[in-house]
Structures are given as structure tokens and as C-alpha cells.
Amino acid sequence: MVPTRREFLIIAGLSTIGVACPPLARIISAKTGTPSARNISPVAPVIAPALTAKRWGMAVDVRKCPDGCRDCIDACHLTHNVPDFGNPKDEIKWIWQERFEDVFPAENHPYIREALKKRPLLVLCNHCDNPPCVRVCPTGATFKRADGIVMMDYHRCIGCKICLAACPYGARSINFRNPRPFIRQLNPDFPTRSKGVIEKCNFCEERLSRGMLPACVMACPEKALVFGDVENPRSIVRQLLDRKFSIRRRAELGTKPQVYYIL
């Protein structure tokens, strides 16, 4: 018997709902944005013991940065296959230098000492404790780990760029083009990214998992970058913060950034 148009539409609608039910059930029962790897059982790693922390943080001792030095930037961008597109529009940077008046506009005033006015300050992702970028990401492609690192899942990112808009620090970049041809020297130990996804500093989580400190920290000739567990009072970063006064960028926004500047 030939169904009437009404009957056909009702059957089609119910079938669509029936097909949609399993994914809906999975969505409703899944944890927000984080799928579970059901088949993996935690076991002792085969590689060098990973560095772990309750909460990773970094202190930037600005006084120690030599003029014209870019060792940390070069090390980071080399280690992570960060491309150089050669123009500021498409630029990708994970760590770079800005002037004091731009990094700390609220603390700036006309009588700041000259040395500080002229000194380039390092800026990078602050791996905030209350990150607005994580809050706005529609797919959970950027998420906060238990140890505080704000991660990027390049496989999940749809390239909507809302995280670039939400970041109060301008720490994120998007691949406006295919980056492969623009990587001067490929590091085989780290993947590249594809066009259309967002990237930023990842506190070298892949190095931490192999028992190594971040590339920028290791590259600095003056040990101006101090990295460690800010929740461990005996870590070197906490010891430094105990000795010296430190400030954070735009802390009044409540993002709880974990990069501390000693000026």
C-alpha cells in the first residue's frame, strides 16, 4: 500500500530520531568535551620517567634577558615545527617579545625606568587556571589538563577562531595556510599542523612526558625562564617567587594566569 505524503513524512521523521538516538545517548552520558580512552590501562611508561606536577607554572625573570637574544623563541619554534610565513598577517608565534607598555598597559606610566621601557618582554600562553579560551571552545579542542596545561587537540579543532577572540593575551595563532612548505627545518620528533587549526604554546608537554624541561627554558643562556610546580613550595619557581616580587598580565580579569613576571 502506497503511504500518503503525511505518513511518509512521519515515518521519515521517526527514523531520523531513531538514528540520532545512539549519538544523543552518548553525548548525554559522556563527560563534557572529554572522550574516554576505554581500552588503555595505565601502566609504567617505557620511556624516561615523565616530569609531573600538581600545577605547572613559569616565572620570567625579565632582568636576565640579554638584549637582542632570541634563543628561547628559536628553540621553541624549531622544536615544534612552527612555520614562518614571512608576513605579519598569517604569522604564527608561540613565544615572542613585546614592549613593557603593551604587556603591562595598566602598570605602565611615564616614569618607568628607561631600561624596563626598552627591554623586550617575553609573552606566551599563560596556561590560565580559569581560561576563557577553554570556556568558549565549542568542541573541547582546547582543554585544561589536571596539571594545569591548557592543551590543543589539533584533531578536534574546527578552526572557528573563537578562542583567538576570547584570549585576553593574544597568545593564539591560526594556520591560515598549509604550514609545511614554510617550516625551515623539520623536527621529526613533533608533528606539524594542518591548515585551519589553531595552535599555541603547550608548555612542551611532549618533552615533560619524556622527562625534559621545556625547550625555551633549556635554551636560555641566562636561565631567565624558570619552570616548575607552583603548588610545590620547594620547586625552584616557587623559591624564586618567594624571593622576588612578581606580577602577572591582566590578572584583574580573573583568568589566573600561571606565567609570573619578575621585573
**In the complex, least distance from residue 199 CB atom to another protein, rounded to whole angstroms:** 11
Q: Which three cell numbers stand for residue 188?
A: 621529526
Q: Which three cell numbers stand for residue 229?
A: 610546580
Judged by CB, which is closer to another protein: 135, or 223?
A: 135
Helix/strand/coil for 98: strand
221 forms part of the interface with another protein (CB under 8 A): no
| HSE-CB of 135 using CA atoms within 13 angstroms | 10
**In the complex, least distance from residue 27 CB atom to another protein, rounded to whole angstroms:** 6
Q: Are 73 and 82 in contact (CB under 8 A)?
A: no
94 forms part of the interface with another protein (CB under 8 A): no
Q: Where are the alpha helices (DSSP H) in 125-251?
A: 132-136, 162-166, 205-208, 215-219, 236-243
164 forms part of the interface with another protein (CB under 8 A): yes
Q: What count of other Cβ atoms lies within 10 Å of the Cβ of residue 23?
A: 9
Looking only at residues 60 through 89 of this chain, which bind another protein when binding is defined by CB under 8 A?
85, 88-89
170 forms part of the interface with another protein (CB under 8 A): yes
- Separation in Å, CA 15 to CA 2, 6, 158: 18, 14, 29
- Site size toward another protein (CB under 8 A) is 82
Looking only at residues 230 through 249 of this chain, which bind another protein when binding is defined by CB under 8 A?
none
- For the chain, what's the residue count? 263
120 forms part of the interface with another protein (CB under 8 A): no
Judged by CB, which is closer to another protein: 174, or 241?
A: 174
Q: Which stretch binds another protein (CB under 8 A): 54-62, 152-160, 221-229, 231-239?
A: 152-160
Of 159, 211, 221, 233, which one interacts with another protein (CB under 8 A)?
A: 159
Which residue do the cell numbers 597568545 mark? Answer: 171
Judged by CB, which is closer to another protein: 206, or 239?
A: 206
Looking only at residues 201 through 220 of this chain, which bind another protein when binding is defined by CB under 8 A?
205, 209
